[in-house]
Amino acid sequence: DQSLKALAARHNLYIGTAVDLNAYADAGDPQYKTMVNQQFNTVTAENAMKWESLEPTRGVYNWGPADAFVNEAIRNRQLVRGHVLTWHSQLPGWLSAGIDDGSIGRDEARALLRQHITTVVSHFRGKIWQWDVVNEAVSDPWETPSAIHLGGNTGSFKQKWADTLGPDYVADAFRWARAADPKALLFYNDYNLEAFGDGGPGDKTQFVYDMVKRLRAQGVPIDGVGSQGHLGTRYGNYDVFQASEALERFTDLGLAVAFTEVDVRSLMKNADDPTVDANSADEASRDQAAAYNHWVLLQACLMNRHCLSFTVWGFTDKYSWIPNWFKNPPEGAGCLWDANYQPKKSLRTVQGTL
Ligand code: XIL
C-alpha cells in the first residue's frame, strides 16, 4: 500500500487534507471522495464548520453538512480536525454587521462567542481530535497594528474580537472549549509560523510563541500550535533546520504541533499582464520549488515526535482555494496532485520522505 496514510502510519504520523464538501458530496466528484478516503487518515472541513456555515441565521444552527462529514470520517476511520471556533473571518453576516454597527456590544458579543463555542464543541463532543479554538488572532508585522497587544511589539491581535472583547478572549475561548469537550486537543492556529525571526514573517512566530507561553504559564488549557503552512515558491524557502527549530521551540513548552493547511502556491500566467508570469514559464522548476517547500515542512514534522499531523489545504489543484484568493498577481498550482489528479513533484517528494 503506497497511499500517503499507509506511509505516514510507519512514522506514527497522521496525514490529512481539507475537504471541499461540494466535491465530496454524492452528487459531486466521485474521484475526489475516493482519493480523500484512500490517501488520508485525518480530515478537516474546508468551510463547513465555520461560524457562517453553522449559524447563518441567528439562533438557528444548520448541522446537516458538518454532521454528515464528521460521521462519514468516523466511518472511514479518519480523525477529524475541527476548524474553526474563533476567527475574525467567515462570521455570519448578522454577527459581523452587529459588531460593526455597535448593535451587538461587548457583553453580548462575549456571550455569543461563549455560547457558540459551548454549543459547537458540545455538539461534536467525542468526535473531534484537534479543535482550532482560535485562528489567526495575531497580525503580521507589516499590517497596521490594532490598538491591542498582548505583549511584545511585533504583533497585534486581528481587530474583530480583540477590539470588541479585549485580549482575554483568547484564554476564555480555550477555557470554554475545554469545558465542553475535555478530551479534544485544543489548538491555536495561524500562518507565518514556519520559522522564527527574520524581520519579516518570523517576527509573528515570536509573538505567537510569547503568547502561548504566557497562556501555558497561566494554566490556560491549550494543547497545541497549528502552523498552517501556506507557503509559495516565492515565500518560505526556509531550510529544514529553521523549520524544525520553530517546532521545537513550541514543543519545548510542552505543546503539540501540527501542520494544518499546507499548500505551496506559484505565480501563474496572467492573461492581462504577460510581464508578470515570472516562473510560470518554466513549469518544471516551479514544481520543484513547490516540492522543496513541502519537503521542508514534512521533514521538520518528522523530526519532532510531538508533531502530530501534516494536513494539506486541498490535495488537488482542481478545487484549490488559491486561484480564487490570490488573483493579483494570479497564483495557483499549490497542491500535491494537479487539476487532472495527476501526481506532481510535490507528491513524489512527500511519498519519498515518508
Ligand atoms: C479558506 C477556504 O479554503 C476558502 O474556500 C474560503 O473561501 C476562505 O477560507 N486560513 C484558514 C482557512 O484558516 O480557513 C482558510 O480557508 C484559508 C486560510
Question: 10 C-alpha to center of ligand 1: Å?
Answer: 30
Query: Does the beta carbon of 190 sit less than 6 angstroms from any atom of ligand 1?
Result: no
User: pLDDT band at 103, cuts 50/70/90?
Assistant: very high
CA dihedral 113, 225, 260, 11 (to 10 degrees): -140
User: Closest residue (by CA) to atom 4 of ligand 1?
Assistant: 321
Instruction: Note whether 353 and 296 are within 8 A (CB).
Output: no
User: pLDDT band at 285, cuts 50/70/90?
Assistant: confident
Query: Does the beta carbon of 69 sit less than 6 angstroms from any atom of ligand 1?
Result: no
Which of 20, 24, 44, 47, when mutated, tests ligand 1's pocket best, judged by the most ligand atoms within 8 Å of its CB?
A: 47
Query: Does the beta carbon of 46 sit less than 6 angstroms from any atom of ligand 1?
Result: yes
Half-sphere exposure of 215 (CA within 13 A, CB side): 29
Percentage of residues of the chain with pLDDT beyond 70? 90
Average pLDDT in the 142-166 region?
57
Residue 273 confidence (pLDDT): 60
Average pLDDT, the chain: 91
Percentage of residues of the chain with pLDDT beyond 90? 79
Question: 141 C-alpha to center of ligand 1: Å?
Answer: 21
User: pLDDT band at 91, cuts 50/70/90?
Assistant: very high
Query: Does the beta carbon of 17 sit less than 6 angstroms from any atom of ligand 1?
Result: no
User: Closest residue (by CA) to atom 9 of ligand 1?
Assistant: 47
Give the ligand 1 atom nearest the CA of 260: 13
Q: Which of 46, 55, 194, 261 is catalytic?
A: 261
What are the pLDDT digits (tens) for 47-89? 999 999 999 999 999 999 999 999 999 999 999 999 999 998 9
Q: What SS3 state is found at 310?
A: strand
Q: Residue 70 contacts by C-beta under 8 Å, 6 or more apart in sequence?
A: 80, 124, 127, 128
What are the pLDDT digits (tens) for 303-350? 999 999 999 999 999 999 999 999 988 899 999 999 999 999 999 999
Q: Which of 136, 143, 248, 331 is catalytic?
A: 136
Of 260, 245, 264, which is closest to residue 202 (Cα–Cα)?
245
User: Closest residue (by CA) to atom 13 of ligand 1?
Assistant: 135
Residue 264 to residue 261: CA distance in whole angstroms = 10
Question: 325 C-alpha to center of ligand 1: Å?
Answer: 9
Is 261 an active-site residue? yes
Higher pLDDT: 139 or 348? It is: 348
Provide the terminal-to-terminal Cα distance of the chain, rounded to the nearest Å. 13
Task: For cell 488520508, name the residue.
Answer: 40
**Ordered structural domains, the chain, with CATH:** 4-353 (3.20.20.80)
Query: Does the beta carbon of 321 sit less than 6 angstroms from any atom of ligand 1?
Result: yes
| pLDDT at 150 > cutoff 70 | no
CB-neighbour burial class of residue 4 (10 A; exposed 0-12, middle 13-18, buried 19+): buried
What are the pLDDT digits (tens) for 171-228? 999 999 999 999 999 999 999 999 997 666 667 898 899 999 999 999 999 999 999 9
Residue 269 to residue 204: CA distance in whole angstroms = 31
Question: 218 C-alpha to center of ligand 1: Å?
Answer: 31
User: pLDDT band at 146, cuts 50/70/90?
Assistant: very low
* ipTM of model: 0.99
Query: Does the beta carbon of 261 sit less than 6 angstroms from any atom of ligand 1?
Result: yes
Could you give phi then psi for residue 116, rounded to 5 degrees? -65, -50
Instruction: Note whether 298 and 350 are within 8 A (CB).
Output: yes
Which of 261, 264, 320, when mutated, tests ligand 1's pocket best, judged by the most ligand atoms within 8 Å of its CB?
A: 261
User: Please, which contacts does 279-286 make with residues 24 or more away whose CB atoms are closer than 8 Å?
Assistant: 279/233, 286/233, 286/333
Instruction: Note whether 296 and 236 are within 8 A (CB).
Output: yes
Half-sphere exposure of 331 (CA within 13 A, CB side): 19
0.90 exceeded by pTM: yes
Question: 237 C-alpha to center of ligand 1: Å?
Answer: 22
Give the ligand 1 atom nearest the CA of 230: 18
Is 143 an active-site residue? no
Average pLDDT in the 9-27 region?
97
Question: Radius of gyration (Cα) for the chain, nearest Å?
Answer: 20
Residue 139 confidence (pLDDT): 79
Question: 128 C-alpha to center of ligand 1: Å?
Answer: 19
Residue type for position 230:
H
Question: 252 C-alpha to center of ligand 1: Å?
Answer: 29
